[in-house]
Structure 1
Amino acid sequence: MEVEEKRIKDTQVAFMRYKGGYDKIPELIAEVVEWVTNKGLNMTGMIYGAYFNSPEDVPTEQLRYEIGASFEGSAEDEGKVMVKIIPEHTVVATLHKGPYTDVGPVIHGLAKYADENGYDIIGPVTEVYLNNPNETKPNELLTEVQFPVIKMG
């Protein structure tokens, strides 16, 4: 697994929080993208999911995550869609190629890498979806897996 440390610049996003199964993710992505598009905002290319707990630790109905899309322009919270700026931060990141359902071992591997290389994970794992699952075969899907970190010591 190839891992890189990089800085993520301030990123304005529209997002929705959800509690429940991951089967809702495609629907939530579509809803956020539609909201951004309907507002006439300029999408800037990042579609992501931030995951606050794990199916290994809680039942499906207790999974908590947010799904969002980056954009330029001015917008405010409306209904289920909220707007925020994710502040600039450092991540360790790696690329996963293949079905989204196979990303678990990559997340564990990245967490282990962070631990073994003097990083302290300071936030939820984030998956940045680099291509469209409606246009891409599952084995060709690209997901960047990131953990926000600080370097210890």
Structure 2
Amino acid sequence: MEVVEKRIEEARVAYIPHMGSYDRIPELMQEVGQWVMGKGLQMTGRVYGTYFNSPEDTAEEHLQYEIGFSFEGEAMQEGKVGIKEIPEHTVLAAMHKGPYTEVGPVIHAVADYAVKNGYDIVGPVTEVYLNDPMEVPESELLTEVQFPVIKL
């Protein structure tokens, strides 16, 4: 697996924060996507989940994450859908191919790479979903794992 350093461009996103089981992720993705389309906004291709704690050391009901979509246009927060700007930043990234439930080893590998190569992880892990589970088999799903970093 190759770990790369790259810049992520600034993006405006619509997102839903959630605390609880990861089982809700597909439902939240659908909800955010429908909200963005319902507002007539132009999606710009970033579909992501940012995970603020780990299922390895957090009870399922206390898992905190957000699911979001990037878009162009103007929108205001509404109900549980928030709007924010993600600033341009540097990440260490690696690709995972296969079921979302098997991404853990890639997350650990990127974190280990950061430590071994003089990077400080400065934020939570983000998974960027590059294809649609409705269109490809689970074995073909592509997820880019990203950690925001600064070089020490």
TM-score (norm 2): 0.99
Cα offset, 1:7, TM superposition:
0.5
Q: Over aligned residues, Cα RMSD in angstroms?
A: 0.4
2:126 equivalent to 1:123: no
Q: Secondary structure, in 3 states, of the residue corresponding to 1:13?
A: strand
**Which deviations, in whole Å up to 9, do the C-alpha atoms of 1:119-143 show, x marking residues without a partner?**
0000000000000001111110000
Aligned to 2:9: 9
Aligned to 1:133: 133
Aligned to 1:64: 64
Gaps of 5+ in 1: none
2:39 equivalent to 1:39: yes
Distance 1:104 1:4 in 2: 18
Distance 1:114 1:135 in 2: 33
Whichever residue aligns with residue 150 of structure 1, its letter is: I
**Which deviations, in whole Å up to 9, do the C-alpha atoms of 1:63-83 show, x marking residues without a partner?**
000000000000010000000
Gaps of 5+ in 2: none
Q: How does 1:95-110 map to 2 (within 5 A)?
A: 95-110=95-110
Distance 1:117 1:89 in 2: 18
TM-score (norm 1): 0.99
Aligned to 2:84: 84
**Which deviations, in whole Å up to 9, do the C-alpha atoms of 1:4-55 show, x marking residues without a partner?**
1001111100000000010100000000000000000000011000000001
Distance 1:45 1:36 in 2: 12
**Which deviations, in whole Å up to 9, do the C-alpha atoms of 1:93-132 show, x marking residues without a partner?**
0000000000001100110001101000000000000000
Distance 2:46 2:26 in 1: 15
Whichever residue aligns with residue 99 of structure 2, its letter is: P
- Count of equivalent residues: 152
Aligned to 1:150: 150
What is the identity percentage for the equivalent residue pairs of Structure 1 and Structure 2? Answer: 66
Whichever residue aligns with residue 20 of structure 2, its letter is: G
Whichever residue aligns with residue 29 of structure 2, its letter is: I
Distance 1:20 1:37 in 2: 26
Whichever residue aligns with residue 34 of structure 2, its letter is: E
